[in-house]
Amino acid sequence: MNTVEILDEISSLLENNQTRPVVEYKDYDTLTDILDIDKKCDGEWDDILHWIKQYFQYSIDTTQTHFANRMWSGANLPSILGEIVVALTNTSSCTYESAPVASIMERYMIDTMLDLIGFENGTGQMTTGSSNANMISMMIARNRNNTTTKKDGLFNQARLYAFVNEDAHYSLDKAINILGIGTEQLVKIKTLSDGAIDTNDLEKAIDEVIQSGGIPFYVCATLGTTVRGGYDSITDLVKLREKHNFWLHGDGAWGGAALMSSRLKNKLLKDVEHLDSFTMDFHKMLGSSLMCNFLVVNHKGLLTKTCADGDNTYIFRDDNYDSGVSSLQCGRRVDSLKWFLDWKYYGQQGFSDRVENYYELAKFTEQSIIKRDSLEMVSDRTSFNLCFRFKTGESIDADAFMQALRDKLYQEQKALIALAHVNGHLIFRLLLSNTNITKESIEDLLDTIVDYGEKLLNE
């Protein structure tokens, strides 16, 4: 079979998988037996296509509105087409000569984001995701604090301290570990009732570090926390930076999509143009296929200065066009095509409409939860996240019940919903990032939760 014939077979499999449930659940051992992983293939296309069919059959259908388990869902069609083309051409975007079209598209998209954010002295790159981007931003801040660090390391220096919202993403813990600064030097600041960082508490913590002889070198503004959807005040943090000269990074992995709407940008991301760096995932609320992330830095030259090292002359010919020079990777997956195609197809207005719709649907969902006697909000909605649980009464272990309810919905193929902890309670975390979601599908999902919860309560 040639490539075209194989792709035709895949296309027919797609057509036959349009009506499947959110998941055809099998436990680990059962699914392992079904897949027959140890079976010999010997170059038979029938076997290969059989495994692909099984992959379709037993994987999660993330396009369905009852998939509410992650910050992403089924991908935009333009980016899916981009993924196919990228796989067929199979190259690395590290240099212009190996990926000329991708290099131009990435530069175009980075420049577009710089303009949208308002970085006047900026540069940037695509990364493997916001976890990687957060680490690079911290690495830039570390080296900027002491220009000898890149060469000499952290020896014979005062201790460096980074500060984050207590609800910040765990990638910051990983970053400070990888960079050799130490997790004890990541100071987690308590939040206000809306999930935003308490800047008064932050300033006290910074003063304590300075008094102890430490250096406050980095603050991360979380712009849409993972669980509650809280936004740190960039305005307040910028004022604090003017006093203490730390690097101010914005982690907009989830909530950065508010950039697309001028109204929501002004409401949730005011003064974003004054950050030192910013990252955002297009594969989350905006629907590009995984992964699609960018990091932008509001200081030209620092990104390349931080990441470039060693003798790379065997591969890089032109620092102006070879994007790999500014990357921690050598080979770089071509993610720019799908990003570019999505942007050209939907445009800022299309993405703005999408984000605005999610915001309004979040308001609707909150009221729909409140009106149901069996459900209760655990944390007030501040943006796109809904944190709620099923009411159980004092005689029942509420956390154990929530886990059992979630598992029952999953195993009986009704829904896959995320769990999280808020104020010590296990709760449902519902995120709106599915282009197929409507008020009717939200009502249906909540009715399903109530129906299964009441049945479980009476067992």
For the chain, domains (ranges, CATH) are 3-59 (no CATH), 82-343 (3.40.640.10)
In whole angstroms, what is the distance from residue 162 CA to residue 79 CA?
Answer: 36
Query: CA-based angle 436:440:446, to the nearest 5?
Result: 100
pLDDT at 86 over 70: yes
d(CA 110, CA 278) in angstroms, rounded, equals: 12
Name the pTM for this structure: 0.95
* Mean pLDDT, rounded, of the chain: 94
pLDDT of residue 103: 95
Question: In this prediction, what percent of the chain has a pLDDT beyond 90?
Answer: 82
> In the predicted model, what is the mean pLDDT of residues 229-248?
97
- Decide if pLDDT at 329 tops 90: no
Mean pLDDT over residues 373-394, rounded? Answer: 94
Q: Residue 416 has what pLDDT?
A: 94
Would you give the DSSP letter of residue 256?
G
Burial class (CB within 10 angstroms; exposed 0-12, middle 13-18, buried 19+) of 183: exposed
pLDDT tens digits for range 164-215: 999 999 999 999 999 999 999 999 999 999 999 999 999 999 999 999 999 9
pLDDT for the residue 183: 97
pLDDT in the model for residue 8: 84
Q: Read off the pLDDT of residues 267-309 as tens digits, 9 standing for 90 and up.
A: 999 999 999 999 999 999 999 999 999 999 999 999 988 888 8
Helix (H, G, I), strand (E, B) or coil at 231: strand
Instruction: Give me the amino acid identity at 62.
Output: T
Q: What is the mean pLDDT of residues 99-105?
A: 96
Confidence at residue 18, expressed as pLDDT on a 0 to 100 scale:
65
For range 319-326, the mean pLDDT: 81
- Residue 137 is predicted with a pLDDT of 98
3-state class (DSSP) for residue 134: helix
Q: What share of the chain is helix, strand, coil (3-state, %, to 5)?
A: 45, 15, 40
Distance of CA 190 to the CA centre of its chain: 22
What secondary structure letter does DSSP report for 79?
H
| Residue 17: predicted pLDDT | 66
- Report whether pLDDT(365) > 80: yes
The band of 21, judged by pLDDT with boundaries at 50, 70 and 90, is confident
Average pLDDT over residues 251-261: 98
